[in-house]
Amino acid sequence: MNRAVKIAKNDACILLQGESGTGKDYMARAIHRESGRRSRPFIAINCASLPGELISSELFGYGPGAFTGASRNGNIGKIEAANGGTLFLDEIGDMPLDLQAILLRILEDKQVTRIGCTKSVTVDVRFIAATHKNLKELVKSGKFREDLYYRLSVFPLHLPPLRERRADLEQIIKGIMVTLSQKDGRPPIRLTPNAIKTLQNYPWNGNLRELRNVIERMVQLHESDVIDIEHLGDYMDLSREDGKLDEKGLLLSALERTSGNRAKAARELGISRAALYRKLERYGL
């Protein structure tokens, strides 16, 4: 986060990398808000959601009658629309190779030419790209241009998956809970310490997106103001093989939160220190 705040002040390209659901879109918008371009447009396009022939017209725009079905007045592209602001290219790893070459030229020349036109338009755009794919591997396999990779990754940022942010999880949960509760017009639901511990040990393969869905179900469906561990199964699948919460995981989580202090870990778990030592010995911890 500190690095993101620093590079927001710069106009160079940023490459956001991380698993699906780690918040790359949120990060891109946050960087835009921290930048000197905050009062200008933030335009996003998902390179994986459109066929190749549509991505080009969406990005670059087109002139009158440029192709069958084209508007007779032409259409401005996303790059021109983002002039003075930020263009967010989500799932950049899915962009076709021919369009990668055109994008590289725009990044270097700061000019865009609409499809079917000969006149170029100068643009001032900050590019932020994102992908859940390994672009270096795509470069090796010839599916992504090496020169474009280095042009986009002036400032690379890796967004860690939620399972690597267990220490942050309680704060994240409370933040999402407050936001969604305010939107729904109800007081935030309080999660008991045992419920929080359970959520901290869940794998969250869908990352922040999955967590937000679970909390939204809680806000919409839970009638009381407190959620304990026995309520969680109503809002998430705790029976999944990868989601089973074992005793060893709870022990490790408690030790991590207390920086290895076994006395504090025992108090957190609600057991005696002797019981904790027996459990640690049982699991070879």
pTM of structure: 0.77
- Reported as a single tens digit per residue, the pLDDT across 83-122 is 999 999 999 999 999 889 999 999 999 999 998 888 999 9
One domain for residues 105 and 167: no
- 7 neighbors 14 (Cβ within 8 angstroms): yes
Q: Which domain holds residue 231?
A: 163-282
- 197 neighbors 167 (Cβ within 8 angstroms): no
Query: What average pLDDT score do residues 62-73 get?
Result: 76
Per the structure, how many domains does the chain have?
2
CATH number for the domain spanning 260: value is 1.10.8.60
One domain for residues 123 and 200: no
**Among 159, 187, 220, which residue terminates a domain?**
159
CATH number for the domain spanning 138: value is 3.40.50.300
One domain for residues 9 and 59: yes
CA distance 172 to 32: 21
Sequence-ordered list of residues with C-beta below 8 angstroms from that of 42, at least 6 positions apart, any chain: 28, 29, 32, 82, 85, 86, 88
CA distance 161 to 159: 7
- Using alpha carbons only, give the angle 279, 282, 285 rounded to the nearest 5 degrees: 80
Q: What pairing do the DSSP bridges indicate for beta strands 111-113 and 42-46?
A: unpaired
Q: What are phi and psi of 269, to 5 degrees?
A: -80, -10
One domain for residues 6 and 128: yes
pLDDT of residue 247: 64
One domain for residues 229 and 257: yes
One domain for residues 13 and 77: yes
CA distance 246 to 79: 50
Structure tokens at 21: 């659901």
One domain for residues 192 and 114: no
Name residue, tokens 């679970």.
214
Structure tokens at 87: 């263009």
Above 50 in pLDDT, residue 241?
no
3-class DSSP assignment, residue 62:
strand
One domain for residues 143 and 170: no
- Reported as a single tens digit per residue, the pLDDT across 242-257 is 444 456 767 777 787 7
Sequence-ordered list of residues with C-beta below 8 angstroms from that of 155, at least 6 positions apart, any chain: 3, 7, 10, 12, 13, 14, 15
Query: What average pLDDT score do residues 153-173 get?
Result: 92
